[in-house]
Every structure is written in structure tokens, then in C-alpha cells.
């Protein structure tokens, strides 16, 4: 997997997890404050579309994840 694959996978996972923990109808509901994480991830994805700046991509690159398919 390359960096963009990891970014999409992790962003989707964070959104689903925070929705599960933040929506009162969920069986694993904890607090509605978890919805702030959903908004944060969504805003980061939105701004990435315009600026191509992604903090997670920088961290993944530092960890040695390839940015292009071989």
C-alpha cells in the first residue's frame, strides 16, 4: 500500500469509529464529543483536496511508507 491508500483507509476508520462512539443510537455510544473527531478528519480531507497538505501523509512518509507504486 502507498501513502494515499493508507490515508484513505485510516481516515475512513477514524470516521467510522468516532461515529460509532458519538452517535447516541449506537450500542457502543460513549459521548457526543467523539463527533468532533469526525469533523476534524472530514475537514482535513476537505483541505487536502485544495492544498495537498496532509499531516498523516508526512508522518507515513517519515515511517518509510512508499509514495508511488513500484
pLDDT for residue 57: 94
Mean of the per-residue pLDDT values of the chain: 96
Other C-beta atoms lying within 10 Å of the C-beta of residue 18: 21
Please, which residues have CB within 8 angstroms of residue 11's CB and are 6 or more apart in sequence? Answer: 41, 44, 45, 56
Is the pTM higher than 0.75?
yes
pLDDT at 70 over 90: no
pLDDT for residue 41: 96
pLDDT tens digit string along 32-59? Answer: 999 999 999 999 999 999 999 999 999 9
At which residue does the C-alpha cell 476508520 appear?
13
Residue 11 CB-density burial (10 A; 0-12 exposed, 13-18 middle, 19+ buried): middle
Mean pLDDT of the 9-31 span = 97
Grid coordinates of 10:
485510516
Give Cα 40 to chain centroid, integer Å: 9
pLDDT for residue 65: 96
Amino acid at each position: 500500500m502507498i501513502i494515499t491508500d493508507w490515508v484513505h483507509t485510516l481516515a475512513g476508520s477514524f470516521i467510522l469509529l468516532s461515529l460509532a462512539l458519538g452517535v447516541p443510537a449506537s450500542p457502543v455510544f460513549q459521548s457526543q464529543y467523539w463527533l468532533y473527531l469526525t469533523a476534524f478528519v472530514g475537514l482535513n480531507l476537505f483541505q487536502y483536496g485544495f492544498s495537498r497538505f496532509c499531516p498523516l501523509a508526512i508522518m507515513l512518509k517519515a515511517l518509510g511508507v512508499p509514495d508511488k507504486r513500484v
